[in-house]
Amino acid sequence: MFYRNPELYEKYRPQTLDELVGRESLVNYIKSHLGDPNYGRDALMFVGESGTGKTTTARIIGSLYADQDTAAFDYREFPGARIGTIDIVREDISYWIRTYPMGKKWKVLVIDEAQGMSQPAKEAFLDLIENSPEHRLFIFTATRTAEGKIPFSKPLTSRFKVFPFDPLPAWAVATFLQRVAAGEGWGTVPSDVIQTIILEAQGNLRNAIQMLEMRRFETGTVLPQAVMDAFQRFKTIYGKKEPDDQRVQALRTCGVLWKRFQDELARGGSAPSTAYGEIVQGFEALARTLEAP
Ligand SMILES: Nc1ncnc2c1ncn2[C@@H]1O[C@H](COP(=O)(O)OP(=O)(O)OP(=O)(O)O)[C@@H](O)[C@H]1O
Ligand SMILES: [Mg+2]
């Protein structure tokens, strides 16, 4: 089993519009409309490929439009697959959207992977969007059909401003990878590694970040903080089960690695080094032995 750090792409999920890479036209649209007093109601649809920021962008925009103090009342997010019956739209959602916002801003409804809704539920949005009060924002995220089409009827699609979420361009993938590498203390990623990941990830940043993680020791120098992080992850995995022979053995190896780390710290201090990279790899390998079935 490949040892993965499941938090990594969550850690680098952008929290603000400016952290998004490759979404300029959408970001400009939002910035020019937010705060415009004549701007009353809106419906946005993000359709495209996996790992290109659809869900992330919907959440960021939601956090800008809904008052954060009252977000528990004014912001709702549903997975499309949970909206099976028309009643959920006609009763629950429709009632909620018509009531006034509790805070000073808008009410925001995000339907993630909206193509998963049942057909009648989708159609119920025709009326709901058209007849909702002002200061209501609807955001649908969706994946295209196998034929590359938008998975909604023309009348429904026409109620939205559709923003295509195409695979991210090479420069955006490269920018994102260098940001993650810098944030994790993995040093600058050499251009050949970047090029390979760009080709393999095909514009999907979730994939790109996982590929970078697999290849990060090819990035050369590593900061001591990365050793601390790898050690913490090892400790978590170690603590998941009662000690047995294998765990006792792993603890011994851990001691050896820790000693190497201390020696390297005494020698090189906080400067990045390949030795730190090797120690991280040691902890990762050790964690892998404990995770193996
Ligand atoms: N435009 C972007 N800018 C910066 N990071 C991004 C961008 N798009 C995706 N990411 C990274 O990829 C991860 C996944 O993004 P997100 O969940 O928004 O993708 P998605 O388009 O909703 O994919 P899916 O269709 O698989 O749900 C994010 O946590 C973030 O780390
Ligand atoms: Mg998503």
Query: What is the pLDDT, as a whole number, of residue 1?
Result: 29
Indicate whether 148 belongs to any domain: yes
pLDDT tens digits for range 60-92: 999 999 999 999 999 999 999 999 988 888 889
186 and 123 fall within a common domain: no
Nearest ligand, CA of residue 206? 1
175 and 154 fall within a common domain: no
131 and 156 fall within a common domain: yes
32 and 161 fall within a common domain: yes
153 and 282 fall within a common domain: no
Cβ contact 176:198 at 8 Å: no
95 and 208 fall within a common domain: no
What is the total count of domains within the chain?
Answer: 3
As a three-state string, the secondary structure of 95-135 is HHHHCCCCCCCCEEEEEECHHHCCHHHHHHHHHHHHCCCCC
Indicate whether 3 belongs to any domain: no
Query: What is the pLDDT, as a whole number, of residue 50?
Result: 92
104 and 131 fall within a common domain: yes
Nearest ligand, CA of residue 210? 1
176 and 161 fall within a common domain: no
Indicate whether 1 belongs to any domain: no
Q: Which of 213, 218, 225 is nearest to 6 (CA)?
A: 213
Query: What is the pLDDT, as a whole number, of residue 5?
Result: 59
CB-defined site of ligand 1, < 6 Å: 9-10, 12-14, 20-23, 50-56, 141, 143, 165, 176, 205-206, 209
pTM of this prediction?
0.79
Please tell me whether residue 74 adopts helix, strand or coil conformation: helix
CATH number at residue 153: 3.40.50.300
Mutate to test the pocket of ligand 1, among 56, 61, 166, 176 (most ligand atoms within 8 A of CB): 56
Question: Which ranges of 166-219 would DSSP assign to H, the alpha helix?
Answer: 170-184, 191-201, 205-215
User: Of 165, 180, 201, which residue is a domain's last?
Assistant: 165
pLDDT tens digits for range 120-171: 999 999 999 999 999 999 999 999 998 999 999 999 999 999 999 999 999 9
- From ligand 1's centre to the CA of 90, what distance in Å? 31
117 and 57 fall within a common domain: yes
User: Of 154, 188, 217, which residue is a domain's last?
Assistant: 217
* 163, β-bridge pairs: 46
186 and 237 fall within a common domain: no
Query: What is the pLDDT, as a whole number, of residue 284?
Result: 87
State which ligand 1 atom lies nearest to the alpha carbon of 58: 18
Q: How far apart are CA 25 and CA 46, in angstroms?
A: 12
pLDDT tens digits for range 30-58: 999 987 878 889 999 999 999 999 999 99
Residue 104: domain span: 23-165
Work out the percent of the chain whose per-residue pLDDT is above 90. 72
91 and 112 fall within a common domain: yes
User: Of 150, 165, 180, which residue is a domain's last?
Assistant: 165
Mutate to test the pocket of ligand 1, among 55, 57, 180 (most ligand atoms within 8 A of CB): 55
Indicate whether 36 belongs to any domain: yes
- From ligand 2's centre to the CA of 58, what distance in Å? 9
pLDDT tens digits for range 185-244: 777 788 888 999 999 999 999 999 989 987 776 656 778 888 998 899 899 999 999 989
Tokens of 99: 């009531």
Indicate whether 6 belongs to any domain: no
51 and 115 fall within a common domain: yes
